[in-house]
Amino acid sequence: MPRFIGGLRRLPELGESINGFKRWLSNQSVACRIGMGVALYFILAFAAYALLGENACAVAVDGKVVAVVADKSDAKEALNELVRLKSDQAGASLMIGEKVSYNGIRVKEGEILDREALKDILNKTLSFNLKGVAIVINGETKLCLKKIDDARKLLDWLKSVYPAGPDEQVGFKEKVELVEKPVCTSDLLEFEAAKDVVLLGTSQIQQYMVKDGDTAWDISAKFDIFPEQLQATNPGVDISELSIGQVLKLSKEVPLLTVVATRQETVEEEIPYQVEEEMDDSLLSGEKKVVKSGVPGQRIATYLITRENGLETDRKICQQNIISQPSNEIVVRGSQTLLASRGGSARVSWPCGGGIVSPFGMRGGAMHEGIDIGADYGDSVAAAAGGTVISAGWDGGYGKAVVVSHGGGVATRYAHLSTISVAVGQSVDRGELIGLVGSTGNSTGPHLHFEVIVDGQQRNPVNFLQ
């Protein structure tokens, strides 16, 4: 600054010198004048910079100027002194949360602050936070701890929750970063609290539309929650009175991190054989015959096994050595439709052991539309021919009964069962178990009532039995 004031005082002297120089220059040649003019330009430019150039440093916080000081180095030292003072007062290492920048400017002498004034302004402008470490998962800060060693210890602890074998490689499915940064004291977690956060995760809300037959218990069991949790997530809703189409909110716990363990396992195992089927019209539909048994192959296979949070999620072959190839099984299936003729060649098998105790025809003034086969309670009842189950359950006077369709308009009924072993829509082969003998419905004792139905009319089963 004294240099600047002294320069101003010498301006009159500089003016007289310039005027004398101009009178001398008028007596010189043109070339000399041009050369001297160029030299004068640079002299004046240098003098202007010396008198009018930057003479101070602007201090900005997050891009906004808060003070002007004489020197950048003084400003930085003032900030460092303030941070050290705050850290000593807090008994911990602190960091500022804002960005401080410095830029050279020119100002009037009275606008420049000293170091103590700058520290006072920065103390009021800046936020001083603890130096912590953030656990960043997939680019998003999830929790903060005081020390980076605590963060590393926490991640190692989470891996140990799901024990891994000595040959397993353990890591995280998500991208995990540890970033040191200023952290508010309210955001810092103690180690034990952080363990609960990473293990239990966070709650995510999803929606569920009530379906026919749903109850609060059914929905809770389906999503592995308690009814009390369902009620808490849906305040104002009477979960005991749900209606079809009603939308409920469900809270589901989602872990913050997925511990992934991978390993290789080599085993000697069978290679399953395939079953080739051929059709044969000499066999009834539903009948089958194995003409060539299958033989499994052998191989030594190396699997890459992946577990996530202790549960196996993937198993794939990464290498194999074939010892022997499998030999396929060949099965012949019947395609002949059960004929509805009095003495046709197609026959059905006896559904259970025992003789006829009540024949087809009139009985006691009423039509007995099948035959009763004597059997003991609990004896096996088999399908008389292959087909598809079209009815299975309670059927009035028949009690527990099964009806099997064999195609071509032919069906068979098995009544008074004690137990039903098949379901509607199920395919059954000849001789396959469909239930057990009983005495349900209009029955006077254990037996099997057996019917053959052709185009909706009961026919005498004796004409079809072989």
Of residues 433 and 253, more confidence is placed in 433
Write out the CATH class of domain 356-463.
mainly beta
Give residue 357's pLDDT band: very low, low, confident or very high (50, 70, 90). very high
3-class DSSP assignment, residue 368: strand
Neighbours of 133 (CB within 10 A): 21
**Helix locations, 427-466, DSSP H:** none
What is 115-184 written as a DSSP string? HHHHHHHHHHH--EEEEEEEEEETTEEEEEES-HHHHHHHHHHHHHHS---TT-EEEESS-EEEEEEEE-
Query: Is the predicted pLDDT of residue 419 greater than 90, yes or no?
Result: yes
Helix axes 72-90, 115-125, angle to 10 degrees: 50
CA angle 462/463/466 to nearest 5° reads 75
Amino acid 204: pLDDT? 75
Cα gap 461→372, rounded to integer Å: 10
Amino acid 402: pLDDT? 97
Picking from 375, 362, 387, 378, the residue whose alpha carbon sits closest to that of residue 452 is: 387
What is 279-324 written as a DSSP string? EEEEEETT-EEEEE--B-EEEEEEEEEEEETTEEEEEEEEEEEEEE
pLDDT in tens, 319-352: 999 999 999 999 988 776 665 544 444 578 899 9
Mean pLDDT in residue range 305-321:
93
Amino acid 39: pLDDT? 59
pLDDT in tens, 182-231: 887 778 898 999 998 888 887 778 889 999 888 999 898 888 888 888 88
For residue 152, give both structure tokens: 């590393």
Mean pLDDT in residue range 400-418:
92
Amino acid 89: pLDDT? 83
Cα gap 150→138, rounded to integer Å: 20
Q: What is the CATH number of domain 261-333?
A: 2.20.230.10
Amino acid 37: pLDDT? 59
Query: Is the predicted pLDDT of residue 11 greater than 70, yes or no?
Result: no
Picking from 86, 64, 76, the residue whose alpha carbon sits closest to that of residue 118 is: 76
Amino acid 342: pLDDT? 43
3-class DSSP assignment, residue 441: coil
Across-strand partners of 193? none
For residue 176, give both structure tokens: 């995990």
Picking from 406, 462, 400, the residue whose alpha carbon sits closest to that of residue 437 is: 400
Listed range (91-95, 274-278, 425-429) with the worst mean pLDDT: 91-95
Cα 25 from chain centre = 88
Give residue 26's pLDDT band: very low, low, confident or very high (50, 70, 90). low
Number of H helices, E strands in the chain: 9, 28
- 378 Ramachandran zone, left/alpha/beta (phi>0; psi -120 to 50): left
What is the biggest distance separating any 2 CA atoms in the chain, rounded to whole angstroms? 158
DSSP state of 295: B
Amino acid 18: pLDDT? 55
What is 375-421 written as a DSSP string? --TT-EEE-SS-EEEEEEEE-GGG-EEEEEEEETTEEEEEEEEEEE-
Mean pLDDT in residue range 124-150:
91
Which secondary structure element, helix H or strand E, spans residue 452, and what is its range? strand 447-454
Dihedral angle sign, alpha carbons of residues 209, 214, 215, 218: negative
CA angle 163/164/166 to nearest 5° reads 135
Query: Is the predicted pLDDT of residue 104 greater than 60, yes or no?
Result: yes
Question: What is the amino acid identity at position 145?
Answer: L
The β-bridge relationship of strands 275-284 and 329-336 is parallel
Listed range (38-52, 147-161, 335-349) with the worst mean pLDDT: 38-52
Cα gap 407→319, rounded to integer Å: 48
Amino acid 345: pLDDT? 44
Give residue 283's pLDDT band: very low, low, confident or very high (50, 70, 90). confident
User: Which residues fall within 8 angstroms of residue 16, CB to CB, at 6 or more apart?
Assistant: none
Cα gap 338→42, rounded to integer Å: 118
Cα gap 200→198, rounded to integer Å: 6
Picking from 450, 424, 448, the residue whose alpha carbon sits closest to that of residue 438 is: 448
Cα gap 422→116, rounded to integer Å: 92
Q: What is the pTM of this model?
A: 0.50
Of residues 389 and 464, more confidence is placed in 389
Task: Assign a CATH topology to domain 202-254.
Answer: Membrane-bound Lytic Murein Transglycosylase D; Chain A (3.10.350)
Of residues 341 and 278, more confidence is placed in 278
For residue 48, give both structure tokens: 């202007």
Give residue 463's pLDDT band: very low, low, confident or very high (50, 70, 90). confident
